[in-house]
Structure 1
Amino acid sequence: MSNDIKNTDKQDFSPIVRAIGSDLEQTQVRVITSANADMLFHYWKVGHFILYLQKKEGWGSKVIDNLSKAIRSQYADKKGYSTRNLIYMCQFAKAYPMEVLIEMGKIEELLNSPSVDNVLQLTNELNQFTQQPVALIQNSDNQGDIITQQPVAQLREVSETLSAIYHSDISQLEEVFKQSAIVRTNWASHVILLNSKLPLGECYWYITQAVANGWSRNVLQMQIETNLFARQITARKVSNFSVRLPKPQSDLANYLMKDPYIFDMMGQTDKMAERDVERQLVSHITKYLLEMGSGFAFVAQQKHFEVGDSDFYADLILYNIQLHAYVVIELKATPFKPEYMGQLNFYINVVDDTLGGEHDNKTIGLLLCNGGDKVVAQYALSGYDQPIGVSDYQLSKAIPDNLKSALPTVEEVEEELNKFVDQE
Structure 2
Amino acid sequence: MSEIQPTPPDVFYDRIRDILESARTSIVRTVNTAQVLSNWLIGRAIVEEEQQGQHRADYGENLLKNLAQKLKQDFGKGYSYSNLKFIRQFYLAFPQLLTEAEIGYAVSSQSELIGLSKPNPNWQPGRLHPNLSWTHYRTLMRVENLDARAFYEIETLKTNWSSRELERQINSLLFERLAKSTDKQGLMQLATQGQMIQTSADVFKDPFVIEFLGLPESPRLVESDLETALIENLQTFLLELGKGFAFVKRQERITLDGDHFYIDLVFYHTILKCYILIDLKVGKLTHGDLGQIQLYVNYYDRERCTEGDNPTLGLILCSDKNDAVVKYTLGAEQQDKIFASRYQLHLPTEAELRRELEQLQLNLDSRASSD
Alignment of 1:28-67 (within 5 A): 28-58=24-54, 59-67=59-67
CA distance in 2, matches of 1:307, 1:318: 22
Query: In the alignment, is residue 170 of structure 1 matched against residue 104 of structure 2?
Result: yes
Q: Equivalent residue for 2:362? A: none
Unaligned runs of 5+ in 1: 103-162, 238-247, 399-424
Q: CA deviation at 1:79?
A: 5.9
Q: CA deviation at 1:236?
A: 6.8
CA distance in 1, matches of 2:197, 2:333: 16
The CA deviation string for residues 19-66 of structure 1, in whole angstroms up to 9 with x for no partner, is 432343233223212221222122111111110010012332121011
Q: CA deviation at 1:278?
A: 1.1
Q: Equivalent residue for 1:145? A: none
Q: Equivalent residue for 2:240? A: 291
Q: Equivalent residue for 2:80? A: 82
CA distance in 2, matches of 1:222, 1:190: 14
Letter aligned with residue 165 of structure 2 = V
Inter-CA distance 82–253: structure 2 relative to 1 (3 Å threshold): farther
- Contact 1:330–1:367, Cα closer than 8 Å, also in 2: yes
CA distance in 2, matches of 1:226, 1:285: 17
Q: CA deviation at 1:168?
A: 8.1
CA distance in 2, matches of 1:395, 1:250: 26
Q: Equivalent residue for 1:111? A: none
Inter-CA distance 297–250: structure 2 relative to 1 (3 Å threshold): closer
CA distance in 2, matches of 1:389, 1:191: 36
CA distance in 1, matches of 2:338, 2:165: 28
Q: CA deviation at 1:276?
A: 1.4
CA distance in 1, matches of 2:158, 2:71: 36
Q: CA deviation at 1:169?
A: 6.7
Q: Equivalent residue for 2:172? A: 226
Letter aligned with residue 48 of structure 1 = R
The CA deviation string for residues 273-322 of structure 1, in whole angstroms up to 9 with x for no partner, is 11211122112212221211123221111101223333221111011222
Inter-CA distance 167–29: structure 2 relative to 1 (3 Å threshold): closer
Inter-CA distance 22–255: structure 2 relative to 1 (3 Å threshold): farther
Inter-CA distance 381–30: structure 2 relative to 1 (3 Å threshold): farther
Say which of 202, 212, 237 aligns to 2:148.
202
Unaligned runs of 5+ in 2: 108-112, 184-194, 349-371
The CA deviation string for residues 87-124 of structure 1, in whole angstroms up to 9 with x for no partner, is 222211111222xx59xxxxxxxxxxxxxxxxxxxxxx
Say which of 242, 251, 261 aligns to 2:198.
251
Say which of 320, 323, 341 aligns to 1:391.
341
Instruction: Decide which moves more: 25-34 or 83-92.
Output: 25-34
Query: In the alignment, is residue 261 of structure 1 matched against residue 238 of structure 2?
Result: no
Q: Equivalent residue for 2:186? A: none
- Contact 1:261–1:393, Cα closer than 8 Å, also in 2: yes
Identity within the alignment, %: 26
- Contact 2:215–2:345, Cα closer than 8 Å, also in 1: no
Q: CA deviation at 1:330?
A: 1.0
CA distance in 2, matches of 1:36, 1:176: 11
Letter aligned with residue 229 of structure 1 = F
Inter-CA distance 282–397: structure 2 relative to 1 (3 Å threshold): farther
Alignment of 1:395-406 (within 5 A): 395-396=345-346
Inter-CA distance 32–255: structure 2 relative to 1 (3 Å threshold): farther
Inter-CA distance 348–199: structure 2 relative to 1 (3 Å threshold): same
Inter-CA distance 188–378: structure 2 relative to 1 (3 Å threshold): same
Q: Equivalent residue for 2:188? A: none
| TM-score, with structure 1 as normaliser | 0.66
Q: Equivalent residue for 2:95? A: 97
Q: CA deviation at 1:392?
A: 0.5
Alignment of 1:21-420 (within 5 A): 21-58=17-54, 59-73=59-73, 75-76=74-75, 80-98=78-96, 166=100, 170-171=104-105, 179=120, 180=123, 181=125, 182-183=128-129, 184-194=131-141, 196-235=142-181, 251-263=198-210, 264-271=212-219, 272-382=221-331, 384-385=333-334, 387-396=337-346
CA distance in 1, matches of 2:197, 2:64: 52
CA distance in 1, matches of 2:170, 2:255: 43
Inter-CA distance 369–168: structure 2 relative to 1 (3 Å threshold): closer
Q: CA deviation at 1:197?
A: 4.2
Q: CA deviation at 1:393?
A: 0.5
Q: Equivalent residue for 2:16? A: 20
The alignment partner of 1:207 has SS state of helix
CA distance in 1, matches of 2:307, 2:341: 29
The alignment partner of 1:362 has SS state of coil
Q: Equivalent residue for 2:363? A: none
- Contact 1:265–1:397, Cα closer than 8 Å, also in 2: no
What RMSD over aligned residues (CA atoms) do the two structures have, in Å?
A: 3.3
Q: CA deviation at 1:250?
A: 6.8
Letter aligned with residue 231 of structure 1 = R
The CA deviation string for residues 125-155 of structure 1, in whole angstroms up to 9 with x for no partner, is xxxxxxxxxxxxxxxxxxxxxxxxxxxxxxx
Letter aligned with residue 60 of structure 1 = G
- Contact 1:335–1:370, Cα closer than 8 Å, also in 2: yes
